């Protein structure tokens, strides 16, 4: 759909959908997690829910608009288990992000994202121009946490097959590179063209080695209809017997390194980084 920008990076918002994911903690399967994404091309609402053993559900919500730079958050909320909510407000009048967790503000540059809107921004950029995201390409995102902001370098690793309970899904593997010296928290994302470039798999690896994984399960059905756990168009059934989002010690649900329950083809190593037009340039839709 046409956007307000007349030039710049191509961007197509991912389609609305309610997605279910098998969740794993250190390779042990837990309850189903969900990603709910709604957009009319002008505004969006994103919510993520993930069960975490012994802690309770981690829930995340991002609300905002689609503007000349793509996904533009207005409000981001994190709730981890029984802890109080942490809220980030994106005040575009003063170009600052205001937090409930700290009195310190963060800058609000064009194209800024929160932890989970970043995933939809990446999806929209790849949907807009898939051929621009080849192995070795690195894209920079300025990402807001629950109390600060920093640059995330996201590298394209390559196209791989993700094995799920529903079958084998072709996906493009992206990895967050170290943000600073000594950064050992890793995030890996597999976006699938057959899912509208929405995630087929998300893995986060903590510095301790603990892992959280979301692995495609199916789309949530309309009320009264059975859940759809069949592979999306372009997916193939796996053989019989196939295997089935920072800031605290408990694993956060940032979308990171392969975990045992899923397998992918060995990733190609990133080539020398190159990049399409930066995210801080206006996008065209």
Kindly report the backbone phi and psi dihedral angles of residue 128, in degrees, each rounded to the nearest multiple of 5, phi listed first.
-70, -30
Q: DSSP secondary structure string, 246-262?
A: --SSSPP-------TT-
pLDDT of residue 158: 98
pLDDT of residue 82: 85
Kindly report the backbone phi and psi dihedral angles of residue 119, in degrees, each rounded to the nearest multiple of 5, phi listed first.
-65, -40
Tokens of 114: 């929160």
Domain boundaries along the sequence of the chain:
9-37+113-284
Kindly report, residue by residue over 91-149, the tens digit of the pLDDT. Answer: 999 999 999 999 999 999 999 999 999 999 999 999 999 999 999 999 999 999 999 99
Kindly report the backbone phi and psi dihedral angles of residue 48, in degrees, each rounded to the nearest multiple of 5, phi listed first.
-130, 130
pLDDT of residue 218: 94
Residue segments in the chain with a per-residue pLDDT below the cut of 50: 1-7, 222-275, 277-278
């Amino acid at each position: 759909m046409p956007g307000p920008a007349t030039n710049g990076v191509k961007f197509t918002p991912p389609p609305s959908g309610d997605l279910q994911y098998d969740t794993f903690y250190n390779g042990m399967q837990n309850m189903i997690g969900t990603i709910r994404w709604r957009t009319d091309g002008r505004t969006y609402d994103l919510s993520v829910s993930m069960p975490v053993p012994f802690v309770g559900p981690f829930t995340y919500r991002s609300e905002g608009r689609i503007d000349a730079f793509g996904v533009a958050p207005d409000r981001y909320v994190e709730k981890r288990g029984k802890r109080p909510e942490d809220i980030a407000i994106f005040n575009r009048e003063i170009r600052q992000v205001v937090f409930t967790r700290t009195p310190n503000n963060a800058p609000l540059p064009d194209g800024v994202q929160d932890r989970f809107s970043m995933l939809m921004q990446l999806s929209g950029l790849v949907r807009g121009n898939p051929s621009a995201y080849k192995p070795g390409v690195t894209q920079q995102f300025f990402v807001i946490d629950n109390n600060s902001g920093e640059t995330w370098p996201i590298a394209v690793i390559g196209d791989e097959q993700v094995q799920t309970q529903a079958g084998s899904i072709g996906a493009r593997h992206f990895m967050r590179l170290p943000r600073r010296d000594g950064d050992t928290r890793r995030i890996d994302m597999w976006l699938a063209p057959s899912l509208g470039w929405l995630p087929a798999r998300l893995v986060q690896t903590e510095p301790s080695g603990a892992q959280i994984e979301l692995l495609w399960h199916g789309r949530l059905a309309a009320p009264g209809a059975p859940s759809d756990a069949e592979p999306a168009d372009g997916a193939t059934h796996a053989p019989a017997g196939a295997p089935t989002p920072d800031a605290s010690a408990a694993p956060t649900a940032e979308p990171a390194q392969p975990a045992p329950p899923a397998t992918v083809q060995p990733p190609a190593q990133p080539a020398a980084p190159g990049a399409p037009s930066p995210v801080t340039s206006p996008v065209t839709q």
